[in-house]
Amino acid sequence: MKTTINFSPNFSFKKREKRQVKFVIIHYTGMQSEIESINRLKNPKYKVSCHYLISRKGEVVQMVKEKNIAWHAGKSKWKQFKNLNNYSIGIELVNKGHQFGYQNFSNQQISSLIKLCKKLKKKYLIKKENFLGHSDIAPLRKIDPGEKFPWKKLSKHGIGKWYVKVNNKNKINQKKMEALFFKNLQKVGYRYVTNTKINLKNKMIVKAFQRHYLPNNITGKINQKTFKISHFLTG
């Protein structure tokens, strides 16, 4: 996997130890071109960056050294961790995103991403469940990498947690199911859950979960399948 260097000045100068890297956070650039994306990630005005950017052709560009903290996650939480910039490697995939015409990720992109993630997983001993999307750690602000990102495919390479086929047997009533679902979400790692009822914030978190695990059913509503997937993931 060939990697080119195009460093951004946007990072924290405080260096971290190898053991502090526990996550890989995957994003899309959400801009109209690769050049525009790189320029934004290098512009001090915007205070954003990533460790790696992967083009539509699968070309990998390193923009911040791994020992430095890139500014990609923003305000974020997962399990007991806050501000995941401090604990993660950030990877941006060139994609116009929902604002400019959301695209399928190219085969070349995903192939390069898998190779890079395998390398990072081995180097930092990152758990498979700690490969996450931006919308997982910031569900009230972000929706990337979005419903077209192939989490299931990556899971077959030990990147990201997935579930086995679930059925709709042994149904439980809606009120109990909703309460258990939000408890499951917190066990999985999702934060920002305010209570065990459907409100605007919790609906956004449900959508983030569905965007990752049920990309063809992003309703914000908790049905039997959404609940059973959450239950499986706590095991």
CA distance linking residue 130 with residue 158, whole number of Å = 11
Amino acid, res. 222:
I
66 is catalytic: no
**Which candidate in 92, 129, 147, 178 is catalytic?**
92
Longest dimension (CA), the chain: 55
Neighbours of 153 (CB within 10 A): 14
CA distance linking residue 62 with residue 58, whole number of Å = 13
Q: What is the dihedral of CA 12, 18, 21, 27, to 10 degrees?
A: 60
Sheet with 60-62, edge to edge strand ranges: 3-5, 60-62, 52-54, 88-93, 23-28, 131-133
Q: Say how far residue 125 (Cα) sits from the centre of its chain.
A: 18
Which residues are known catalytic residues? 92
